[in-house]
Amino acid sequence: MDWLHLSDEEWTAIRLSLWVSGIAMVVSLPFGIWVAYLLARGGFWGKSILNGIVHLPLILPPVVTGFILLVLFGRRGVIGAFLDQYFGIVFSFRWTGAALACGIMGFPLLVRSIRLSIEAVDRKLEEAAGTLGASPTWVFMTVTLPLILPGIIAGMILSFAKAMGEFGATITFVSNIPGETQTLSAAIYTFTQVPGGDAGAMRLTLVAIIISFAALLASEFMAHIVGKRVNVE
Amino acid sequence: MTLIVEARQTLGEFNLDAGFTSEGGVTALFGRSGSGKTSLVRVIAGLSKPDQGRLMVDGDVLLDTENRIFVPKHRRRFGYVFQEGRLFPHLTVRQNLNYGRWFAGMSRQGDDFDRIVELLGIELLLERRPGKLSGGEKQRVAIGRALLAAPRLLLMDEPLAALDDQRKAEILPYLERLRDEMATPIVYVSHSVSEVARLADKVVMMKGGRVEAIGTPSEILGGQAFLSSDRRDAGAVLTGRVEAIDDAHRLATIRLSASEIVVPNAHVETGRSVRVHIPERDVMVATLRPEGLSALNILEGRIVSIEPDGEGMMRVRIRSGEDDLLARITALSVERLDLKLEKAVFAVIKTVALER
């Protein structure tokens, strides 16, 4: 069973992958809820354009998304230079860049799931909350948000899973630097490129399967608990 | 409390152009479905904005389209009870009840909470979730939730329409207690004659988006405006006090001004003031006191008016003490009994016809 023993580098790749995916999921969540709300409820000019832009990473080849990120968020990119100069945030060839790429790639799945659950909320309940003295913000916090929680959890798991599996955009944008930007997928890819790397690739593949399965079970479990509370009527 | 409302609104094919004033108590917006009752009450609540309109409560302007004033619904402090309850499914009954209190800025537990919970008989439901309640229980919780937000006006939009007759009979006594024990004025939307007859102090009758008549329940439900729209349920509305309850026979005796009347005992308490709606088609007229008759109510009175009521029918108004009864009988009967003004007669009403 010696071949199952994970090396330090492999552990680093696993930890980095979990960290990057987790950060991507958490940071994109507020934006995801906001955009989903706009798309579900908003009546504004350019709504279909916003919808198109949000879904773009789903349709474009990941390499293209990665390249666009490189152009925009690279050190000399329009946004990247600005963020570097005023906030000291650097994306290129850092784990933050990997998280950005993962967040962008998972965003359409996150938004879609939350949007569907917002559209399913009975607006009559929100109206009732309004007549009881709740301002629109409070209505959202106390009625809408709890009711869409199952959709939010499903979206978070989907975006996390997408981030764990993300490869093309990440490697194009921030390359494949061990310890900084080498995620699980990139590490497996690296193993397959060197002679005798099959065992390492197999070990990491097993790890990837375990993580994905755990995420799936966790989402089922949470959806069950929340669903029991929300869908009683 | 003074409520003044006027609204003009075009909703597709439908035109709302209505208004009324209320000085407290229970004001019923009464009319068939599609008459604009709900549209008008939604304007009052701030759930819809009319093209033109004005709304004042005790001199406080909440809506004035001319001066571009529109106070949003959450700042009006009006309670609203919807037809379908609309309880929050993710909260327990207790949390539902406390929802409005929280925004009204009051302590979470107080006399009001216990009093209203007791008044509505929902003590045993507090820890349950709305999904596990019956229709009648949900509606009682919804009423409690609206009341606990300490509204200055309670709007009820057909609160019983979605319930079956048994549930209605279960809730109506709670509404009567509400009217008698809480100071909160109520605007009650309904198409049901029996609900309006039992609850309203003032009736605003609507038809085709307009106000057709305003008056007391007996004026409206026995009046010409109502006759032209729905004569089936026309009749007198009498106010009395429950004098005795006969549990063995499930009957209650109600004292009127000069006589008493026996009705089925459906959730009434001794000493409580109640209204009885007596449909005019269920009243018989006799010139001699009938004997050997199953009907329990034989009221002595004199005729104060006889009016032709179309199709060979006559409406006879019989005054008994201070109460006016209406009887709808054929012109032939009037002729045969030689009924005329000031003649002493007996009005005969089956108790079964007064099932509430």
Q: pLDDT for A52-91, tens place per residue?
A: 999 999 999 999 999 999 999 988 888 888 888 888 888 8
Is there a single domain that holds both residue B197 and residue B263? Answer: no
Is there a single domain that holds both residue B224 and residue B246? Answer: no
B88 touches chain A (CB under 8 A): yes
- Reference B146, options B190, B179, B116; nearest CA is B116
Q: What is the DSSP letter of A7?
A: P
Residues 100-129 of B with CB under 8 A from A: 100, 103-104, 129
Is there a single domain that holds both residue B122 and residue B214? Answer: yes
Residues of B in contact with A131 (CB under 8 A): 45-47, 73-74, 78-80, 146
What is the domain count for chain B? 2
Task: Looking at B182-300, list the stretches that DSSP marks H as alpha helix, in order from N- to C-terminal side.
Answer: 193-199, 217-221, 224-229
Is there a single domain that holds both residue B13 and residue B118? Answer: yes
Q: pLDDT for A188-224, tens place per residue?
A: 999 999 888 888 899 999 999 998 888 888 888 887 7
Show the domain range for B13: 3-230
More confident residue, A229 or B235: B235
Q: What is the DSSP letter of B108?
A: S
| Residue at which a domain ends, from B230, B255, B288 | B230
Query: Is B82's CB within 8 Å of A128's CB?
Result: yes
| Torsion, CA A34, CA A40, CA A42, CA A43, rounded to 10 | 160
Is there a single domain that holds both residue B193 and residue B46? Answer: yes
Question: What is the predicted pLDDT for the residue at A131?
Answer: 92
Give yes or no for a contact between B49 and B42, defined as CB atoms under 8 angstroms apart.
no
- Chain A and chain B share a number of CB contacts under 8 A equal to 68
Q: Residue B105: is it exposed, middle or buried by C-beta count within 10 angstroms (0-12/13-18/19+)?
A: exposed
Question: What is the predicted pLDDT for the residue at A231?
Answer: 52
Residues of B in contact with A128 (CB under 8 A): 80, 82, 86, 88
Is there a single domain that holds both residue B161 and residue B48? Answer: yes
pTM: 0.80
Q: In angstroms, rounded to a whole number, what is the distance separating the alpha carbons of residues A146 and B90?
A: 7
Q: pLDDT for A1-55, tens place per residue?
A: 566 778 888 888 899 999 999 999 999 999 999 999 999 998 888 899 999 999 9
Distance from CA of A226 to the nearest CA of B (A): 9
Query: Is A233's CB within 8 Å of B89's CB?
Result: yes
Is there a single domain that holds both residue B315 and residue B267? Answer: yes
Q: What is the DSSP letter of B161?
A: T
Q: Which two tokens stand for residue B168?
A: 């209605």
Is there a single domain that holds both residue B261 and residue B302? Answer: yes
Is there a single domain that holds both residue B186 and residue B51? Answer: yes
| Residue at which a domain ends, from B230, B264, B296 | B230
Rg (CA), chain B: 22
Banded model confidence at residue B228, pLDDT cuts 50, 70, 90: low
Question: What is the predicted pLDDT for the residue at B221?
Answer: 81
| Residue at which a domain ends, from B230, B256, B274 | B230
